[in-house]
Structures are given as structure tokens and as C-alpha cells.
A = this chain, B = another copy of it.
Amino acid sequence: MLVYFTFDSRPDLQQQLLDQFPQVTFVFHNEIDNNVLAQADVIVTYGEDLTEDHIDIAQNLKWIFVASAGVEMMPHEKIAERNILVSNVRGIHKKPMAESVLAHILSLKRSLPYIYNNQRNRVWNKRGGNPSELNGNTALIIGPGAIGAELGRILQAFEVYTIGCNRSGEPAPYMNETYRISDLKNHLSKADIVISILPSTPETKHLLQYEHFQLMKESAIFMNFGRGDLVETDLLIRVLEEKLIGHAVLDVFEVEPLPSNSKLWDLDNITISPHCSSHSIRYLERSFEIFVPSLAKWLRGETDLVNKMDILRGY
């Protein structure tokens, strides 16, 4: 029985596995080794390193544990064909992500970039930076699922009025109002902060157009923490160059890594967060909290694992 981690993890977490599962051989590797792959029964991966060829080589493979939420880069068809079980760590992102979104919002509202710049230049400037406040704002959350609920809960603690937009328009948790995404245009002008946490689907690709940004407040903060194809990059650049809105905080991009010659780097009304909003030094620990009981179950021959997913549907 071989469990192949295609990434290195913390020694204490590795030791925990070795202690708890003496009957299992564990291999921890930063790069994929085809010899190990050929023998692996289980692969634990961040989901970005597996190709169709790898699946072909991994003839023993029965279960892929994805220590992330996104499976876009995995060879879906091939995995489905072989009927390989896939499970992920859905749900462990919501706290770090909600905290990242709040960190960015509060940093902008309370002028932290200005404070940091002055400190770097050893400048004491008590007055400038135009700090504003979050309380009393209205936030529009596009795609309020588990992350959106956590975000809405915290925003409401800051006395923010929350409006959700989802496919159905059915009430979503911690949203003061909820509307259909098809009605989005009717609500954009109310929002001080517009946050997308939409997944990538054919319906959400390039969903936001120039007219959507025209409807937003000039002071609006637009945040994309969902998927990069929500807005075309050239459109984003135009919107920010024309200062249609106040600031954009982007955690996701159409092309990642963002090319070093992208015009987005040149703008001063943008925060470029390199798809790291869910990262946390506690991430692996939490992933292991899901993986360890799942492995115990799987070794007993049970396959109704937590966060079992349909690789073809992507969730």
C-alpha cells in the first residue's frame, strides 16, 4: 500500500502519518517520480501537477486526495474513465479567505499602504492618506456560498449591509438581501465594495463587462477572489486607467502567474495578490485533519469519503 504525496509537508505532520499508519508506505516528493507513481495506490496532490500521462503510468491508482479546492488543471476525462476516487479539502479555505478579503478592505479603508510607504521613507505624516471607514458601507457579494457566508458574517459584525447575488436569487446566509445574478446590474450602484467569489463556469466567464463597472460607484472597491476569467484583463486595465472605480484587489487573473509585462503591474489603483488569499501556515494541518480520517476509512475499504467529488462536474 503506497501513498504518494507529490509535495513536501511538515516533518511533524509526516511523522503523524508514519506513526498512525505503520502498514502504509508513504513517499513525500516535490517532483513526480514515475517509478513511485507506477506503484502508488493513493496520490495526495495540490491538483496542479498531474497530466494524462501520469494517470496512465499510475496503474495502481485508486484515490486522489486533492489538498486544494480547484481541480481545473487535472486530467478530468482520464480520471473519470479509470473511475478513480477523488476527494478534496473543500471548506478549509473559507476562514483564511474571508480574513484576506477583510484584511484588504480594512487596509484600504484605513490607509495602511500610505502608512507603510511613509514608514519606509521615515516620514511622520499624521494627517494624510484620507482614511475612511468600513462601518456603514454596503457590500455586494457575487456568488455567496460557504466562503461568502463566512465573509457576510464578519462584514455584518462591522455593520456592513450585505447584498448577495447568486444564480437562483434564493436567500443566502448572512446576506441582508439576495438577488439573481441576472439582476446584477440593478444593484451594483448601491455597493461600496463589490466582491466576486464565483467559480469558473461557462456562465461566469467574462460575466462582468464595461457597463457593469460604469454602474459602480467611482469610489467602489472591486475584489475578484473567485476565478480570473470573470473579467477580461484588457477590460480591467481600461476600467482602472479610466478610474471608473476606486480600486481593484485581484487574487485571480486570466493568466497566472501574471506576466511580468502585464500593464496591471503599472497601475496604482490595484492590489495584486498572487492567488494566495487562501494560503495559510495552518493550511496543511487542516488538510491533514481531513486526510487522516479519510485514509483510515479508505483502508477499511469504505469509499464514502468526506468531500468526495465528481471530477467531471468539478465539485
Contacts and interface: CB of A to CB of B under 8 A. Distances in A.
Interface of A: 95-96, 99-100, 102-104, 106-107, 109-113, 115-116, 118-119, 122, 124-127, 129-135, 153-154, 157-158, 256-258, 260, 265, 271-277, 279-282
Nearest to A258: B124
Contact of A124 (B103, B154, B158, B274): B274
B118 A112 contact: no
Contacts of A102: 102, 106
A282 B124 contact: no
24 contacts: A95-B133, A96-B133, A99-B109, A99-B110, A99-B135, A100-B131, A102-B102, A103-B106, A103-B107, A103-B112, A104-B112, A106-B107, A111-B276, A115-B272, A116-B271, A119-B271, A122-B265, A124-B257, A124-B260, A126-B257, A126-B276, A129-B279, A130-B281, A132-B280
A102 B275 CA distance: 22
Given A257-B124, A265-B122, A281-B132, A110 B100 contact: yes
A104 B276 CA distance: 19
A96 B135 CA distance: 9
B276 A129 contact: yes
A146 to B, nearest CB: 15
A105 to B, nearest CB: 9
Nearest to A154: B157
Contacts of A129: 276, 279
B276 A133 contact: no
